[in-house]
Chain A
């Protein structure tokens, strides 16, 4: 940007927001310290109510922090909101395009709002309509578009002025898997082409996992972890080995034996199943099976799953991120089996 550029695209110190409604105070964001470098793609991951949207709304000047500071694109959100707004794009949780407007009209007027000339707003709108597959629907009333089309239109609106920094609040919520994949591709492509810094929020684990190089885990308004998905998993969760036995008593004995043999493992047993959570479980599993076989406790089946970000979250907070979000995702993509034998 201009003058006041630091090397950070975003820099917050003790960023805090408390809402008071009906004499009750909710601390939506508590003392957030976050820095984002130019060109990064960061996902804020957390359950509903964690404070993700509130964080984004402070960073985009929509609400004033209760305390703490935030610099975005080199400008202070509290004292230089105008400059911040000029530098960023924001795609909120709702639909940016007015429902009684036409998509292309909204794109152009949004471009004008950022100070673009009519001609350049028009050609940029055409370009985005093209690249976001909106050609068929851009001149229809927004209310007649499907959820996926509307979301792509929102993305186009956020990009109209080619911001150096783009915020997306739950960009793929409500989209079917195909549209979600499609949208993720657009975000990745955008970044590759323009080097745009992207900050998005999500409660989809797989989205954070596959899309972001850096995941900031937020819970109850606090930052609880901040790293690459791979490193978070390595540091905060082990592989999961699920063993099934023919008899409940075998399972119980096997569980006891594994506890003795692997002091660092977390072992749970229920009915005929034993679940072992341990670092590099994929490497330990074969020897474990042989050991159990030798002790007269042969496993009937085994499954080894890599840790997910949900495991990370569970480990960090003691709660599953999936609670309340199971409806729109099949349980199967919780596990990512990498080896099955009998």
Chain B
């Protein structure tokens, strides 16, 4: 301890990419050290998979059979759960003081958000692989190219959703109940309106309208097409537009919240 230098070598000036990478690495580390945490947010979707898929067997209008229709929905769902809850990590760090500690560093505020949001991609991919691994033995038909493109779209969506979740944590100013009330209030309507668990084709008109206003609907439709190996132009494009919209909105709102944070 006697050889400590007073001025450590500062190699890099603060820049957005480097700062983002630092935050990303820090956020990812506990996931890598404790991979079970990723599986945890999947318990609910897997239960839905086990209970709903058999129910859907006789529902008409499900192209390619119940499992083929249901699995993309479940993949989206597990990401939806994970990304929408991710703000709770920040919430906890706001309560313990470790978020404040990052705010006194020279790192860019936007990097504090982006690094965290980009990390959401990792659980998205891991969860998708797990779901697929579970269903393939049950005669699920895997279309690799479409699935890869689908997961890319889902990653974009989840970066946005994760950012919104972080923005919510910042807006809640450390109050758990605000965070969870808002998160739950939004999560289930958005999930159901997207036709993730049940098709909304035969729903009443107002519900179909609500469904059409939900960006997630387009993502889910596009995922279904892609998982089935179909690159139907307008469906896939609509999905990417919706995912990009949520991503841009999330980064904008989240970045603003982080800059305003004190």
Q: Does B103 contact A (CB under 8 A)?
A: yes
Segment of B104-112, B222-230, B250-258 in the binding face: B104-112
User: In the bound complex, how far is the Cα of B2 from the Cα of A127, in angstroms?
Assistant: 9
Q: Is B97's CB under 8 angstroms from A93's CB? A: yes
For residue B175, give the distance in angstroms from its CB to the closest CB of chain A. Answer: 13
A104-121 near B? 1/0 per residue, CB < 8 Å? 011001111111110011
Cα distance A116–B105 when bound, in Å? 12
Given the contacts A60-B104, A114-B105, A131-B1, A98 and B6 also touching, CB distance less than 8 Å: no
Establish whether residues B101 and A110, one from each chain, have CB atoms under 8 Å apart when the complex forms: yes
Contact A116 B9 (CB under 8 A): yes
Q: Which of A4-12, A80-88, A245-253, A330-338 participates in binding chain B?
A: A80-88
Q: Given A82-B106, A101-B30, A113-B102, is A92 in contact with B25 using a C-beta cutoff of 8 Å?
A: no
B212 on the A face (CB < 8 A): no
Q: Which B residues lie within 8 Å of A62 (CB)?
A: 100, 103-104, 262
Q: For B14, what are the chain A residues with a Cβ–Cβ distance below 8 Å?
A: 82, 115
Q: Which residues of the partner chain B approach A99 to less than 8 Å between Cβ atoms?
A: 92, 96, 98
How many interface residues does B have (CB within 8 Å)?
Answer: 37
In whole angstroms, how far apart are the Cα atoms of A97 and B33 in the complex? Answer: 16
Output the least CB separation between A218 and chain B (Å).
21
A-B residue pair count with CB separations less than 8 angstroms = 109
Closest to B11 in A: A117
Report if A105-B106 is in contact (Cβ < 8 Å); known contacts: A94-B100, A162-B7: no
Once the chains bind, are A100 and B30 in contact (CB under 8 Å)?
A: yes
Q: Which residue of B lies closest to A111 (CB)?
A: B8
The chain A residue with its CB closest to the CB of B262 is A63
Residue from B7, B29, B103 within 8 A of A105 (CB atoms): B29
Interface digits, B20-55 against A, CB 8 Å rule (1 contact, 0 not)?
001001100110011000000000000000000000
Question: B4 at interface (Cβ–Cβ under 8 A)?
Answer: yes
Closest A residue to B30 using CB positions: A100
User: B residues within 8 A CB of A130?
Assistant: 1
- CB proximity of A99 to chain B, nearest CB, Å: 6
* Residues B72-109 near A (CB distance < 8 A): 89, 92-93, 95-98, 100-107
Q: Do the beta carbons of A162 and B8 come within 8 Å of each other? A: yes
Interface membership of A90, Cβ < 8 A? yes
Q: A98-B93, A105-B29, A157-B101 are in contact. Are A115 and B10 (CB under 8 A)?
A: yes
Contact A116–B11 (Cβ < 8 Å): yes
Contact B106 A92 (CB under 8 A): no
- Closest Cβ–Cβ distance, residue B84 to chain A (whole Å): 19
B13 A115 Cβ-Cβ under 8 A: yes
Asked whether A95 lies within 8 Å of B5 as measured between CB atoms, the reply is: no
Whether A98 contacts B98 by the Cβ 8 Å rule is yes
Answer yes or no: A30 CB below 8 A from chain B CBs: no
Partner of B98, one of A85, A95, A115, A120: A95
Distance of A130 Cα from B3 Cα, bound (Å): 12
**In the bound complex, do residue A113 and residue B22 qualify as a contact, i.e. CB atoms below 8 Å apart?**
yes
Contact A115 B93 (CB under 8 A): no
Q: Which of A60, A82, A117, A193 contacts B4 (CB 8 A)?
A: A193
Judging by beta carbons under 8 Å apart, are B97 and A94 in contact? yes
What is the CA–CA distance of A110 and B98 in the complex, to the nearest angstrom? 11
CB distance from A49 to the nearest CB of B (A): 18
Contact between B96 and A95, CB atoms less than 8 A apart? yes
When the two chains form the complex, which single residue of B4, B19, B95, B262 contacts A113, counting CB atoms closer than 8 Å?
A: B19
Closest B residue to A112 using CB positions: B22
- Enumerate 23 A-B pairs (CB-CB under 8 Å) in ascending A order: A62-B103, A62-B104, A64-B262, A82-B106, A85-B105, A90-B104, A94-B96, A94-B97, A95-B98, A96-B100, A96-B101, A102-B33, A105-B26, A109-B22, A109-B25, A109-B29, A113-B102, A113-B105, A115-B13, A116-B8, A120-B9, A124-B4, A162-B6
Interface residues of A (CB under 8 A from B): 57, 60-64, 82, 85-86, 88, 90, 92-102, 105-106, 109-117, 120-121, 124, 127, 130-131, 157, 161-162, 164, 193-194
> Which residue numbers of B lie inside 8 Å of A, CB to CB?
1, 3-14, 19, 22, 25-26, 29-30, 33-34, 89, 92-93, 95-98, 100-107, 262
Q: Which 5 A-B pairs have the closest CB atoms?
A: A94-B97, A96-B101, A131-B1, A113-B105, A117-B11
Question: Given known contacts A85-B105, A90-B104, A127-B1, what 9 new A-B pairs fall within 8 Å (CB)?
Answer: A92-B97, A102-B33, A110-B105, A113-B102, A114-B106, A115-B10, A121-B8, A162-B4, A164-B6
